[in-house]
Amino acid sequence: MTPKLVLASSSPFRRMLMENAGLAFEAHAANVDERAIEAPLEKSGATPDEVALVLAEAKADEVSRRFRGALAIGSDQTMSLAAQVFHKPKDMADAANHLRMLGGRTHRLNSAVAIVRDGEVLWRHVAHAELTMRPLTDDFIARHLRRVGPKALASVGAYQLEGEGIQLFEKIDGDYFTILGLPMLPLLAKLRELDAIDG
């Protein structure tokens, strides 16, 4: 029998990617305190990839324990600029600071995905995208944030590429799925290998 798929996320974007791929699945948010997991990792000098992987696995693990026998898919994304790891902006002033730091520079999105069944990690993977923002003036940042409003607080970089955020960029290297936070091609390949989807 084909195992049930459970997406350990409440993200509408991740759900959309799974639906668009024609997968039959349920989506359930993981009951984990991401900041509590992240803080000791960052203190210990964990890389952005390691932080994203640990969080993806923690989400999938928690959901896998509620849905016995199912393949729980957890994902997480970190954003890094050189050695600095970014978190979602706390408020609009923080969003403006994010954009000021990112303007004219290349940052990296680190998208991790993990599959866990009954508390056992079956697979983990990290994909990357490199995004170069064009130089931004303070005046433009203020006008941009007024236009997009609180949506700027919903993502770690204070932008949504699928919306007006695309105007901030001059170059993007990486696939769409990695940028939205769920590397679909490696995930689909692994699900086929596990006989969880039609291969």
Q: Which residues contact 52 (CB under 8 A, 6 or more apart)?
A: 76, 77, 78, 110, 111, 112, 126
Predicted local distance difference test score (pLDDT) of residue 161: 87
Predicted local distance difference test score (pLDDT) of residue 82: 86
Domain ranges of the chain: 5-193
pLDDT tens across the length of the chain (199 residues): 678 999 999 888 899 999 999 999 999 999 999 889 988 998 898 999 999 999 999 999 999 999 999 999 999 999 999 878 888 899 999 999 999 999 999 999 999 999 999 999 999 999 999 999 999 999 999 999 999 999 999 888 999 888 899 999 999 999 999 998 999 999 999 999 999 999 8
Candidates 1.10.3720.10, 3.90.950.10, 3.40.50.720, 3.90.1310.10; CATH matching 5-193 = 3.90.950.10
Predicted local distance difference test score (pLDDT) of residue 199: 85
Given 76, 118, 173, 175, the catalytic residue = 76
CB 126 within 8 A of CB 181: no
Indicate the residue type of 17: L
Could you give the angle at which helices 138-148 and 92-102 cross, rounded to 10 degrees? 130
Cα separation of 38 and 46, whole Å? Answer: 9
Give backbone dihedrals phi and psi of 124, rounded to 5 degrees, phi first. -145, 150
Q: How many CB atoms neighbour CB 167 within 10 A?
A: 13
Q: pTM of the entire structure?
A: 0.89
Predicted local distance difference test score (pLDDT) of residue 88: 87
- Does residue 76 carry a catalytic annotation? yes
Predicted local distance difference test score (pLDDT) of residue 69: 96
Map residue 132 onto helix, strand or coil.
strand
Predicted local distance difference test score (pLDDT) of residue 156: 87
